[in-house]
Amino acid sequence: MTITEQSTETASVHHWIGGAAHESGSGRTAPVYDPARGVVTKHVALADDADVRAAIDAAQAAFPAWRDLSIARKQAIMFRFRELLNERRDELAEIITSEHGKVLSDAGGEIARGLEVVELATAFPNLLKGAFSENVSTGVDVFSVKQPLGVVGIISPFNFPAMVPLWFFPVAIAAGNTVVLKPSEKDPSAAMWMAELLKEAGLPDGVFNVLHGDKVAVDGLLTAPEVQALSFVGSTPIAQYIYETAAKHGKRVQALGGAKNHMLVLPDADLDLVADAAVNAGFGSAGERCMAVSVVLAIDSIADALIEKVQERVATLRIGDGRRGTDMGPLITGQHRDKVAGYIDIAEADGAKVVIDGRGIEVDGDADGFWLGPTLLDNVPTSSKAYQEEIFGPVLSVVRIKSFEEGVELINTGVFGNGTAIFTNDGGAARKFQNEIQVGMVGINVPIPVPVAYHSFGGWKQSLFGSAKAYGAAGFDFFTREKAITQRWLDPSHGGLNLGFPEN
Ligand code: NAD
């Protein structure tokens, strides 16, 4: 059966508005694939302006009651959601794998990281406490409260269909906001599953809405006056567009963009551990992670030995359908697979050596899946587009360097600043690296240094537009605004005129 024939029999993914599925009137849809089989399994609605309005209206209508609901009741809902998500995580993992392609264990890992943020959000009363200063002047007190913003928009990428929304919405909701989530149109079902789970946990209708779509939906959220803040995660050009457009419309905005993460390997590092880390961080989730390692900066003297160890490990990997116990699944679409393969062509044409070639690989799965095997490139010129641009696939580039300083210089002159790692047993070198490197998240002998939920996630430079990181204390700051109140309870002794500032 061809894709076109199958598409007439596929399921539809609707919006989720006001606590129920909402059929779009737009007549526009996008195909959703099972990437391991290369077939369309669903069609997702693409919102028109009326759908955007319906989602924002539902969130706006739900806001006052949600804002004013007691802390105890809000907290009970967050705990219930945590319990349900934990109990039923395997269902969600299946959904993620069926639309994204990552292997089931990796989908489970994505949910575990998202759950951490839900757990953080259950502690919101502690994180939202204000401050109180008594007698700032005699009989005068000043106190501050953190209040929700109102309706907030979240726009998420395809590569973490559960975790990235979970970075934001538990915090936004716990802080008293109502949400319109616009997930990636490539894997929209995880968001719908979580919406139903939130309802089951007791969340009032309209507090969490899912709007599917493309630029029309995104532009609707960017320009609607009711939307107070936008959290975006995706590629750098779109992040920059979101940042500029949201700011122009007076909104609070955090826009996390792309990455090109380097791993610097010094000669004293344990090369077996480094090779394990490079393979895990380079090829996990087929390299479709914003914190994936894509460049290994190896000091010349150890480069050959490291490459050999990486080769040995890659030879043991099973590539195939993520539901069959494999190590690495397909890429998200055929188009993206071809784009990633194009970077291998570019690197080769620019003089890199293709040590392991993932093009045309045989897999444990359907031949029509969007496959590209793990690829290892050596001697990639730093002038090549394959070095400079984000590839977002299972391609690990080795760049040979002469010194620690050369490695730091390469990382610091790059346009991205999401993650980086150093592998060494030299504490002094690691400390110098941690101090001088111009990157937001740094690993010392840790290849993917994603901060835990009670810290905050975010890169530097073109990996994050705006100053607000995701989750942790920064997340609560982003989704609240502080109000400072100065109070005095008058008695007759306070009478009299004084047009100057009080002196004490
Ligand atoms: P993308 O930028 O194509 O899409 C992200 C979101 O923006 C999606 O919801 C999409 O529908 C929407 N969008 C796409 N084109 C748009 C347009 N022209 N106007 C308005 N909205 C638009 O990103 P993707 O391919 O889904 O995800 C991969 C990218 O996300 C990579 O660059 C990766 O590095 C990045 N990412 C970054 C982080 C981080 O924390 N910095 C985390 C995950 C992914």
Global confidence as pTM: 0.96
For ligand 1, the distance from its centroid to the CA atom of residue 237, given in whole angstroms, is 9
Determine whether the shortest distance from the Cβ of 154 to ligand 1 is under 6 A: no
How high is the mean pLDDT of the chain?
A: 96
Length of the chain as a residue count: 504
Determine whether the shortest distance from the Cβ of 238 to ligand 1 is under 6 A: yes
Query: Rounded mean pLDDT of 28-34?
Result: 98
- Answer yes or no: 290 catalytic: yes
Are 65 and 290 in contact by the 8 Å Cβ rule? The answer is no
Indicate the residue type of 485.
I
pLDDT per residue over 186-213, tens digit each?
A: 999 999 999 999 999 999 999 999 999 9
Determine whether the shortest distance from the Cβ of 463 to ligand 1 is under 6 A: yes
- CA-nearest of 319, 322, 286, 289 to 98 is 322
Q: Looking at ligand 1, which residue's alpha carbon is closest to its atom 43?
A: 290
Query: Rounded mean pLDDT of 222-228?
Result: 98
**What is the atom index within ligand 1 of the atom nearest the CA of 182?**
9
Termini Cα distance of the chain: 83
pLDDT per residue over 253-271, tens digit each?
A: 999 999 999 999 999 999 9
Determine whether the shortest distance from the Cβ of 290 to ligand 1 is under 6 A: yes
Determine whether the shortest distance from the Cβ of 187 to ligand 1 is under 6 A: no
**Which phi-psi region, left, alpha or beta, contains residue 287 (left: φ > 0; alpha: ψ -120 to 50)?**
left
pLDDT per residue over 69-116, tens digit each?
A: 999 999 999 999 999 999 999 999 999 999 999 999 999 999 999 999
For ligand 1, the distance from its centroid to the CA atom of residue 48, given in whole angstroms, is 20
Q: Is the model's pLDDT at 7 over the cut of 90? A: no
**Which phi-psi region, left, alpha or beta, contains residue 360 (left: φ > 0; alpha: ψ -120 to 50)?**
left
Angle of the 71-87 helix axis to the 189-200 helix axis, nearest 10: 130
Q: Is the model's pLDDT at 182 over the cut of 90? A: yes
pLDDT at 456: 97
Query: Rounded mean pLDDT of 352-364?
Result: 93
For ligand 1, the distance from its centroid to the CA atom of residue 177, given in whole angstroms, is 23
pLDDT per residue over 366-408, tens digit each?
A: 999 999 999 999 999 999 999 999 999 999 999 999 999 999 9
Determine whether the shortest distance from the Cβ of 193 to ligand 1 is under 6 A: no
Q: Which residues contact 272 (CB under 8 A, 6 or more apart)?
A: 309
Tokens of 64: 């006052």
pLDDT at 492: 80
Best of 96, 164, 218 for a ligand 1 pocket test (most atoms within 8 Å of beta carbon): 218
Lowest mean pLDDT among 133-137, 226-230, 466-470, 488-492: 488-492
Q: Nearest 5°: CA angle at 328, between 322 and 332?
A: 75
For ligand 1, the distance from its centroid to the CA atom of residue 187, given in whole angstroms, is 12
Q: Looking at ligand 1, which residue's alpha carbon is closest to its atom 19?
A: 215
Are 175 and 182 in contact by the 8 Å Cβ rule? The answer is no
pLDDT at 493: 77
4: pLDDT confidence band, cut at 50, 70 and 90?
very low
For ligand 1, the distance from its centroid to the CA atom of residue 235, given in whole angstroms, is 4
For ligand 1, the distance from its centroid to the CA atom of residue 106, given in whole angstroms, is 20
Q: Is the model's pLDDT at 1 over the cut of 50? A: no
pLDDT at 2: 34
pLDDT at 504: 65
Q: What does the buried/exposed string (b/e) look like for 196-227 if buried means 16 or more CB atoms within 10 Å of the residue's CB?
A: ebbbebebbebbbbbbbbeeebbbbbbebebb
Best of 156, 158, 395 for a ligand 1 pocket test (most atoms within 8 Å of beta carbon): 158
pLDDT per residue over 296-306, tens digit each?
A: 999 999 999 99
Ordered by where they begin, the domains of the chain are: 12-257+471-484 (3.40.605.10), 261-444 (3.40.309.10)
Residues facing residue 295 across a β-bridge: 262, 397
Best of 154, 181, 214, 332 for a ligand 1 pocket test (most atoms within 8 Å of beta carbon): 214
Query: Rounded mean pLDDT of 33-50?
Result: 98
Percentage of residues of the chain with pLDDT beyond 70: 98
Determine whether the shortest distance from the Cβ of 352 to ligand 1 is under 6 A: no
pLDDT at 104: 98
What gap in Å lies between CA 46 and CA 488, rounded to an integer? 54
For ligand 1, the distance from its centroid to the CA atom of residue 188, given in whole angstroms, is 14
Residues facing residue 20 across a β-bridge: 17
pLDDT per residue over 306-317, tens digit each?
A: 999 999 999 999
pLDDT per residue over 277-295, tens digit each?
A: 999 999 999 999 999 999 9
**What is the atom index within ligand 1 of the atom nearest the CA of 463?**
41
**In terms of DSSP bridges, do strands 178-182 and 11-13 run parallel, antiparallel, or are they unpaired?**
unpaired
